[in-house]
Amino acid sequence: MPKDGGIGAATPRREDIRFLTGNGHYTDDINLRGQAYVHFLRSDVAHGRLNKVDTSAAEGMPGVIRIFTGADFEGIGGLPCGWQVTDRFGEVMQEPGHPVLARGKVRHVGDPIAAVVAETYAQARDAAEAIVLDIEELPAVVDMKKALEDGAPKVHDDLKSNLCYDWGFVEENKAAVNEAFETAAHVTSLELINNRLIANPMEPRVAVGDFNRSTGDHTLYTTSQNPHVIRLLMGAFVLGIPEHKLRVVAPDVGGGFGSKIFHYAEEAFCTFAAKALNRPVKWTCSRSEAFMTDAHGRDHVTKIELALDADNNFTAIRTDTHANMGAYLSTFAPSVPTWLHGTLMAGNYRTPLIYVNVKAVFTNTVPVDAYRGAGRPEATYQLERVIDKAARELGVDPIALRRQNFITEFPYATPVAVEYDTGDYHATMDKLEEIADFKGFEARRTASEAKGKLRGLGINCYIEACGIAPSNLVGQLGARAGLYESATVRVNATGGLVVMTGSHSHGQGHETSFAQVVAEMIGIDANMIEIVHGDTANTPMGMGTYGSRSIAVGGSAMVRATEKIINKAKKIAAHLMEASDADIELKDGKFSVAGTDKSVAWGDVTLAAYVPHNYPLADLEPGLEETAFYDPSNFTYPSGAYACEVEVDPETGKVTIERFSAADDFGNIINPMIVSGQVHGGIGQGIGQALLEACVYDENGQLQTGSYMDYAMPRADDVPFYQVDHSSQTPCTHNPLGVKGCGEAGAIGSPPAVVNAVIDALQRSGRTITHIDMPLSPSRVWQAMQG
């Protein structure tokens, strides 16, 4: 291993220094000479006909440069959707238009109506207040089931209904699944809500558009997890700018959790306005604005049924889900309740027959899209809740019931179209039993009881599909993009390397962990390697960071490019040592001829590549720079087992998390410190979903939770220290690093553990409560306890 850390080392993060000293470079830190500021006037009604936008009074206000409305975007494309789902009848989904600025109607609170560009933010905000709107308010649809009733108000007048699609999976299995339920020895059913959440990265979104009239070059600085995707979507589908005239830069990104994957109207506006006004245009989202414009997450209403035979083997699963799309289709929204959800319904278990029905519904709410886990938390939550309920109904141990039904042989083809390559679910459960100290639970429960508290233990398993994704497969499933990743490795003459990757960190520490991989492969100091990302001008076309894909897909591309470098370097080394290519070995940054004491250093070879005086020019180009694109052959399948212990205060219904343990299998690990950090963060968000967070609309479509005063973010005193372990490792079989991805596991695996623990606490105290919907706030738990 290189002395400062190769693969497997808990190397401290190099990016920390700038973040800790106030020298991070986030999009809002960018200020261009002569920039103007935009403030968006947004709809304060959920649904309305936009009769008139009168900007006349506002136009004369101090500092106002120009006010744009929907009319200024006539003939310009709307925001595109990147995934087309085909329904169970073979029809493609209903796909509404999504204008940059509202035209004709407003469809959710926060829908942008006008954009005021002024010399200062304050002037833009002041002028926006002088715009007079004539909006005829229409009845709003908020509840998904009501939105599907005959005669319900339509979000989009040009669509047949508010049904985006009615998806069945696997449709051919439906009859057999129904038959299995008729012959089952036991059926457990559960209706539940996967609560609507708001991602809330701490950095609000920002966009700065710039245009150079003398060259025709556009630049957009934006808070994005995937600048190349924004360049392609915005350039090709919205503004008609070819990629070579559009540069998208996402510098340091302050968290994303999915919400910064998508292409948003404000990015297109700033790019468009910079050209129209011939000066840079900047928008900084306020947190209040973020609540009503960042894509929301989850929001599923589900009925799940589990069929078991007389020996408690799972025989079939049937689910019926309504999934909220919001008012428009966000970039990847249609894929979340379908291919990222239905394909995970087998979980860790041998269930031969599964049928998933999902009705995606338009409502007068903010668009809903991927949020950390995206579809997989929804699948895991319903499955692990219904299994827990079944165990109680059958009077069997919930761990034993799970173990009995574990998949144990790999590869395993599920009845929901995916093939798990590796896993060992007993191993992670064994590890969990150890780290969670199940043996000590009874003593802890007794101690809680002595304090007047109810203690409960909840466990669950999870599996997820990461490393999205094989392009040919997702293409068949409706993706309008490939999902490969890329890397260019540029070796400099004196031996240092720059790796330019299409992945992009928004907090995951790529600059450290990616460098560890290349350092290990070549055997040089990681400090000789620089990772460059986030700028379309100096990175190869890549799809970015989401779906726990960066090390599995982006890392694999980097490995392939580095392999090409090593192959070429070996040829140069062979020439320098007058040996055969096949005899050259690379170890610890030194090339040697097998079986001899001849060697040349890494730096000798890199110098020869750029100063090719003694060089095989007839056979080999000078220079040392290679690019690779990596398209995975399968998803990766991290898995794990989680345990939560709670105390419930019977007087108030308040739940406190006393212990939380996570045993994960992520395959091989590059940096265990970073991996643990990812799990901690995911658990924190999962506890937030389970106990605290809820995005609430009233029946008129008004957002009731529009700030941190109303939306309960987890604070430090809401969570305990977590016990995490990732020593159970079954490496991925189809990528070169054997890695699976760890970014979303914590958020997927933790909510059911928390809820199962609360139900356990309540049932141990003699109550018959079988379910409470998240978040398990004191009022909800208290009310449930009142019967």
Partner 1 sequence: MPEVKMTVNGKPASGQIEGRTLLVEFLRETLGLTGTHVGCDTSQCGACVVHVDGKAVKSCTMFAAEAEGAEITTIEAMAEPDGTLHPIQQAFQDHHGLQCGFCTPGMVMSAAALLAENSTPTETEVRDYLEGNICRCTGYHNIVKAILAASGQDVSRIAAE
List of residues contacting partner 1 (CB under 8 A):
10, 12-13, 15-24, 26, 28-29, 31, 122, 200-204, 252-255, 257, 284, 286-288, 506-509, 672-677, 680-685, 687, 707-709, 713-717, 719, 721-724, 746
Contact at 8 Å (CB) between 365 and 701?
yes
CA distance 128 to 110: 14
Taking the least distance from each CB to partner 1, the nearer of 260 and 318 is 260
Q: How far is the CB of 666 from partner 1 (least distance, A)?
A: 13
Q: In this complex, which beta carbon is closest to partner 1, that of residue 168 or of residue 682?
A: 682
State how far the Cα of 313 lies from the Cα of 186, in Å rounded to an integer.
Answer: 10
The nearest distance, CB 63 to partner 1, in angstroms, is 12
64: enclosing H helix or E strand = strand 64-69
Tokens of 174: 């439906």
CA-to-CA distance for 574 and 707, rounded, in angstroms?
A: 64
Q: How far is CA 578 from CA 490, 564, 581, 673, in A?
A: 25, 21, 9, 44
Q: How far is the CB of 203 from partner 1 (least distance, A)?
A: 4
Beta-strand runs (E) in 226-313: 246-249, 281-284, 296-297, 300-308
* Nearer to partner 1 (CB atom), residue 252 or residue 760: 252
Q: Which is nearer to partner 1, 310 or 709 (CB)?
A: 709
The residue (of 189 and 288) whose beta carbon lies closer to partner 1 is: 288
Structure tokens at 66: 């120009």
In whole angstroms, how close is the CB of 20 to partner 1 at the nearest point?
A: 4
- Closer residue to partner 1 in complex, CB, 253/624: 253
DSSP 618-670: TTS-SS-EEEEEE--SS-B--EEEEEEEEEE-TTT--EEEEEEEEEEE-BS-S
Residue 150 or 717: which CB sits closer to partner 1? 717
Instruction: Please name which of 348, 342, 426 lies closest in space to residue 387, comparing C-alpha atoms.
Output: 348
User: What residues pair up with 609 in beta bridges, in sequence order?
Assistant: none
User: Distance of CA 526 to CAs 301, 499, 529, 553, 737, Å?
Assistant: 48, 12, 5, 21, 17
Shortest gap between Cβ of 494 and partner 1 (angstroms)? 24
Query: Considering the complex, what minimum distance in angstroms separates the CB of residue 772 from partner 1?
Result: 23
Beta-carbon count within 10 A of 766 CB: 7
Nearer to partner 1, 553 or 724 (CB): 724
Between CA 591 and CA 562 the distance in angstroms is 15
Q: What angle do CA 406, 411, 416 make, to 5 degrees?
A: 70
Residue number with CB closer to partner 1 (16 or 149): 16
The enclosing H or E element of 164 equals: strand 163-169
State the minimum distance, in angstroms, from the CB of residue 506 to partner 1.
Answer: 6
State the SS3 of 468-494: CCCHHHHHHCCECCCCCEEEEEEECCC
Report the DSSP beta bridge partners of residue 735. none
Q: Which is nearer to partner 1, 72 or 126 (CB)?
A: 126
137, 348 Cβ separation under 8 angstroms: no
The CA distance from 744 to 547, in Å, is 7
The Cα–Cα gap between 377 and 685 comes to 11
CB of 678 to partner 1, least distance (A): 8
Q: Which is nearer to partner 1, 201 or 334 (CB)?
A: 201
Q: Tokens for 100, please give them.
A: 């940059």
Local structure of 42: helix, strand or coil: strand
CB 546 within 8 A of CB 483: no
**CB closer to partner 1 out of 562 and 685:** 685
**Are 115 and 101 in contact, with CB atoms under 8 Å apart?**
yes
Question: Do 102 and 50 touch, CB atoms closer than 8 A?
Answer: yes
Q: How far is the CB of 512 from partner 1 (least distance, A)?
A: 10
What is the spatial order of strands in the sheet that 112-118 belongs to? Answer: 64-69, 112-118, 36-42, 281-284, 206-212, 217-222, 246-249
**Smallest distance, Å, CB 661 to partner 1?**
9
Tell me the closest approach of the beta carbon of residue 14 to partner 1, in angstroms: 10
Cα(130)–Cα(55) distance, rounded to whole angstroms?
Answer: 7
Q: Retrieve residue 446's tokens.
A: 């007794």
Side-chain half-sphere of 86: how many Cα atoms within 13 Å? 12
* CB closer to partner 1, 368 vs 683: 683
Q: Which is nearer to partner 1, 398 or 677 (CB)?
A: 677
Min CB(285)–partner 1 separation in Å: 10
- Identity of residue 20: L
**Closest distance of CB 607 from partner 1, Å:** 31
Indicate the residue among 111 and 252 with the shorter CB distance to partner 1: 252
User: Least separation, in Å, of the C-beta of 462 and partner 1?
Assistant: 17
- Give me the least distance between CB of 659 and partner 1, in Å please: 10
- Nearer to partner 1 by Cβ, of 316 and 683: the residue is 683
Q: How far is the CB of 284 from partner 1 (least distance, A)?
A: 8
* Pair of tokens at residue 19: 């973040």
